[in-house]
């Protein structure tokens, strides 16, 4: 179980608990349940990379030791 920090770039941060084997699509559903937005409208990015729904968090090297410079945007 890992905890990922998501930032919507408007100042709202949430912490989402998930597994490294979860796909980005599964992760979007977890985020959507916490913020009340449809998963189809959520776009996850790290820097200029947009994450694709069928790739796992581990493949994108998203781990529990998320530092403040590694934020995942909605």
For 52-69, how does the pLDDT look when each residue is reduced to its tens digit (9 = 90+)?
A: 999 999 999 888 855 433
Q: Looking at domain 2-73, does it have CATH number 3.40.30.10?
A: no
pLDDT of residue 67: 40
Q: pLDDT category, 8, cuts 50, 70, 90?
A: confident
pLDDT of residue 54: 97
Q: Where are the beta strands (DSSP E) in the chain?
A: 2-7, 13-18, 45-46, 49-50, 72-73
pLDDT of residue 21: 95
49-50/13-18 β-pairing: unpaired
The average confidence (pLDDT) of the chain is 84
The residue with tokens 């998963």 is 39
The residue with tokens 């709202």 is 12
Does the pLDDT value for residue 39 go beyond 60?
yes
């Amino acid at each position: 179980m890992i905890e990922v920090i998501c930032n919507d770039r408007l100042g709202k941060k949430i912490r989402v608990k998930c597994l490294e084997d979860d796909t980005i699509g599964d992760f979007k559903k977890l985020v959507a349940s916490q913020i009340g937005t449809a998963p189809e409208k959520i776009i996850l990015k790290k820097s200029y990379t947009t994450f694709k729904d069928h790739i796992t968090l581990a493949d994108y090297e998203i781990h529990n030791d998320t530092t403040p410079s590694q934020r995942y945007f909605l």
